[in-house]
Amino acid sequence: MDKHNVNSETNVMTLDPNKIPHVLLEGEMGAVLEWKLTDNKTGKATASGQRRAESFVKQFPQLLMSLFQQTYLVGDAISIKDTGNTARDVRSRSPNFGADAGVGAVTHGIIVGTGSTAPTINDYVMETPIAHGTGAGQLSYGAVTWGTPAYDATTSQFTITRNFANSSGGTITINEIGLYVTAWDTAVKYFMVLRDKITGGIAVPTGQTLTVNYRLQGVI
108 with 217: CB under 8 angstroms? no
159 φ/ψ angles, rounded to the nearest 5 degrees = -120, 135
Reported as a pLDDT band with limits 50, 70 and 90, residue 11 is very low
Burial of 67 (0-12, 13-18, 19+ CB in 10 A): middle
Give the per-residue pLDDT at 72.
72
Which distant-in-sequence residues (6+ apart) come within 8 Å of 42 by Cβ?
none
Give the per-residue pLDDT at 69.
87
Name the pTM for this structure. Answer: 0.91
Burial of 135 (0-12, 13-18, 19+ CB in 10 A): exposed
Task: Give CA 175 to chain center in angstroms.
Answer: 13
Is 90 exceeded by the pLDDT of residue 92? no
Give the per-residue pLDDT at 109.
98
Is 70 exceeded by the pLDDT of residue 153? yes
Q: Is the dihedral of CA 105, 37, 126, 156 positive or negative?
A: positive
Give the per-residue pLDDT at 74.
65
Reported as a pLDDT band with limits 50, 70 and 90, residue 3 is very low
Which distant-in-sequence residues (6+ apart) come within 8 Å of 192 by Cβ?
57, 59, 83, 111, 123, 124, 125, 126, 178, 179, 180
pLDDT mean over 31-41: 96
74 φ/ψ angles, rounded to the nearest 5 degrees = -55, -40
